[in-house]
């Protein structure tokens, strides 16, 4: 395969990406042309919010083609367009043959939750010392164990005994990682719910791989009270969900919330105060875990 690389200003990124699509590029990627220099500017918004801008001041666009002729032709065609003003073709280069599956897999290593509890991709052997493992491959649903919010929930789960976990609700289950983690530590029965049907399917698939029993579905599936209610979403939806989530916590049960930034602790405490007294229970990389016990 051959890749054609261009430099372009921020306002041309969309047009060029669409043009590459129309030219049947096999893939298109956009990077900051000023990365690793003093001119590098981060491009991300608050969690859950759109980025303040859609591209970098100078972007490097790389498009992949099956043949050198197709890559050369695409470069020449684009260079002849009005909208190419301010852009520059950097060149066409052959992409060496790779074992792409192996390369992708090598980017996902086992993740340590506690010294004994690990998230392990299915193609990996569990690390020495792993007493408990959760097998999970990256997929379309959030939750591979690499995000601090997921890890903090799993650490909390790993500290509880089966009796404390009891009946569990995983609200916003994504890949099902928390529900499956709870099952591994003896929780039962378990309901895992999400607004995204792809997450519900991923949870069912991942439960099968891990040989654990759980029920998964859309949020309406949650019913009655649970000994443990887990929700790793984001601060804004968690505030809206406060009465609903608290109503699902049984007497003597626990509420465990993640997806909250350190500076959002007080607003979450206030939002939940009419029902349960939230406290910060853990923190990692600017994210916090908040928990509350009922009665
Ligand atoms: C950050 S992911 C967490 C996934 C997994 N539980 C974990 O801890 O890694 C949040 C999940 O919540 C789901 N979600 C967002 N808002 C929701 C809502 N109002 N009700 C149910 N699920 C929701 C999203 O679809 C997403 O799968």
Give me the interface pTM, i.e. the ipTM. Answer: 0.99
- Sort 19 into a burial class: Cβ within 10 Å, 0-12 / 13-18 / 19+: buried
Task: Return all residues near 116 (Cβ < 8 A) that are at least 6 apart.
Answer: 129, 130, 131, 132, 158
Question: Does domain 2-97 match CATH 3.30.70.330?
Answer: yes
Question: How many A from CA of 229 to the centre of ligand 1?
Answer: 13
**pLDDT reported for residue 97:** 76
CA triple 15-17-23, angle to 5 deg: 105
**pLDDT reported for residue 18:** 92
Question: How many A from CA of 70 to the centre of ligand 1?
Answer: 42
Lowest mean pLDDT among 23-32, 112-121, 139-148, 236-245: 139-148
pTM for this one?
Answer: 0.74
Residue from 233, 235, 289, 290 to probe ligand 1 pocket by mutation (most atoms less than 8 Å from CB): 233
Residue 181 marked in a binding site: no
Tens-place pLDDT, residues 209-223: 999 999 999 999 999
Contacts for 134-139: CB closer than 8 Å, 24+ residues apart: 134/177, 134/180, 134/181, 134/184, 134/210, 135/206, 135/209, 135/210, 136/175, 136/177, 136/180, 136/206, 136/209, 136/210, 137/108, 138/108, 139/175, 139/202
Does ligand 1 come within 6 angstroms of the Cβ of 177?
A: yes
- How many helices (H) and strands (E) are present in the chain, helices listed first? 10, 14
**Contact predicate 233/242, CB 8 Å:** no
**CATH 3.40.50.150 spans which residues of the chain?**
156-293
Residue nearest atom 9 in ligand 1 by C-alpha distance: 143
Does ligand 1 come within 6 angstroms of the Cβ of 181?
A: no
Residue from 113, 174, 201, 220 to probe ligand 1 pocket by mutation (most atoms less than 8 Å from CB): 174
Residue 172 marked in a binding site: yes
pLDDT at 16 over 80: yes
Atom number of ligand 1 nearest to Cα 150: 8
Phi-psi region of 221 (alpha: psi -120 to 50; beta: other; left: phi over 0): alpha
**CATH 3.30.70.330 spans which residues of the chain?**
2-97
Tens-place pLDDT, residues 63-73: 999 999 999 99
Structure tokens of 66?
């099956």
Question: How many A from CA of 152 to the centre of ligand 1?
Answer: 15
Q: How far apart are CA 43 and CA 53, in angstroms?
A: 7
**pLDDT reported for residue 107:** 74
Place of tokens 């792993």: 130
Residue 210 marked in a binding site: no
Quick one: CA dihedral 86, 91, 92, 94, positive or negative? negative
Residue from 147, 172, 232 to probe ligand 1 pocket by mutation (most atoms less than 8 Å from CB): 172
Residue 104 marked in a binding site: no
Atom number of ligand 1 nearest to Cα 174: 27
Sheet bearing 88-94, strands edge to edge: 27-32, 58-65, 2-9, 88-94
Quick one: CA dihedral 48, 54, 58, 61, positive or negative? positive
Give the right CATH number for 156-293 from 3.40.50.150, 3.60.9.10, 2.40.40.20, 3.40.80.10. Answer: 3.40.50.150
Residue nearest atom 23 in ligand 1 by C-alpha distance: 172
Which residues does residue 6 pair with via DSSP β-bridges, in sequence order?
61, 89
Q: How far apart are CA 237 and CA 279, in angstroms?
A: 18
Tens-place pLDDT, residues 84-127: 999 999 999 999 877 766 677 777 889 999 999 999 998 899 99
């Amino acid at each position: 395969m051959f890749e054609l690389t261009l430099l372009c200003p921020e306002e041309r990124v969309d047009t060029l990406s669409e043009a590459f699509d129309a030219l049947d590029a096999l893939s298109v990627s956009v990077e900051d042309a000023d990365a690793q220099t003093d001119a590098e500017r981060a491009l991300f918004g608050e969690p859950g919010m759109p980025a303040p801008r859609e591209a970098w001041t100078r972007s490097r666009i790389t498009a992949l083609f099956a043949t050198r002729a197709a890559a050369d032709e695409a470069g020449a065609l684009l260079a002849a367009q009005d909208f190419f003003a301010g852009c520059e073709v950097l060149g066409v280069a052959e992409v060496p043959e790779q074992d792409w599956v192996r390369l992708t897999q090598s980017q996902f290593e086992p993740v340590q939750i506690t010294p004994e509890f690990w998230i392990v991709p299915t193609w990996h052997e569990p690390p020495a010392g792993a007493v408990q493992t959760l097998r999970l491959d990256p997929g379309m649903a959030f939750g591979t164990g690499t995000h601090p919010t997921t890890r903090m929930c799993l650490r909390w789960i790993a500290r509880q005994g089966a009796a404390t976990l009891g009946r569990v609700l995983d609200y916003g289950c994504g890949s099902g990682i928390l529900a499956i983690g709870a099952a591994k530590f003896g929780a039962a029965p378990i309901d895992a719910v999400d607004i995204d049907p792809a997450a519900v399917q991923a949870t069912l698939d991942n439960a099968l791989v891990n040989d654990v029993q759980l029920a998964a579905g859309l949020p309406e599936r949650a019913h009655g009270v649970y000994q443990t209610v887990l929700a790793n979403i984001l601060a804004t939806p968690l505030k809206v969900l406060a009465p609903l989530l608290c109503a699902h916590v049984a007497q003597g049960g626990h509420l465990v919330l993640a997806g909250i930034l350190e500076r959002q602790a007080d607003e979450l405490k206030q939002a939940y105060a009419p029902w349960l007294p939230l406290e910060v229970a853990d923190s990692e990389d600017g994210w916090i875990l908040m928990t509350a016990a009922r009665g």
